[in-house]
Structure 1
Amino acid sequence: MPPGDMVHVGPVASPRFGAGNGFGFRVIRAHDWRTSWDGRAWLDGYQLNAAGDAIERRSIYVDLAGLHPSEATSRRR
């Protein structure tokens, strides 16, 4: 996942993020760390608010197949 990608993180990406509607996330880096599960990765980036602004820097562990383009991405294009 390239830096700058903006994705939606919800319960499909990780049960940990199942509360509420999930959140937008702008990727800073995808770590190449080995994980216990294929298709999962640690990502560093910024949690986004509804307007697409960064509100918190986070490191998250997610199923990459469960990530989808963020609504903020659609609005900014």
Structure 2
Amino acid sequence: MTAHLPKPGDLLRVGREASVQFTKPILFRVIRVLDRPTYHGWIWLEGYQIDNRGDAVDRRSIFVMKAGLRVPAVGKTGQQRRLRSPQRR
């Protein structure tokens, strides 16, 4: 669980604990926390959905319960995977 308000660059696992719309969990890279009125304990996040390779596949805004957000497990190096840069031709 994340105890703090997410900040730009955070990688989160968003699943059913955060909102019933996420029946299949996604990885989400935060761009910003949106300043919109919400219910207590809920927040709007803007960011990118991340695929299994670590690539950003969809930019979206999501409405989630802060207490339901999770930090994904870290890799062997002890660091979260970084987004891959687009390949240049």
Gaps of at least 5 residues in structure 2 are 1-5, 80-89
The number of equivalent residue pairs is 72
Indicate the percent of aligned positions where both proteins have the same amino acid: 44
Q: Summarize deviations over 1:23-51 as a string: whole Å, max 9, x none.
A: 1000000012221x211011000000112
User: Tell me, what secondary structure is at the counterpart of 1:59?
Assistant: strand
User: Tell me, what secondary structure is at the counterpart of 1:65?
Assistant: helix
Does 1 or 2 have the higher relative contact order (CA < 8 Å, sep 6+)? 1
Indicate yes or no: 2:44 matched with 1:39: no
User: What do you get for the CA RMSD once the two structures are aligned?
Assistant: 1.3
List structure 1 segments (4+ residues) > 3 angstroms apart after TM superposition. none
TM-aligned CA deviation for residue 70 of structure 1: 2.4
Indicate yes or no: 2:25 matched with 1:14: no
Scaled by the length of structure 1, what TM-score is found?
0.85
* Structure number with higher strand proportion: 1
Scaled by the length of structure 2, what TM-score is found?
0.74
Residues 25 and 70 of structure 1 are in contact (CA less than 8 Å); yes or no, is this contact kept in structure 2?
Answer: no
User: Tell me, what secondary structure is at the counterpart of 1:56?
Assistant: strand
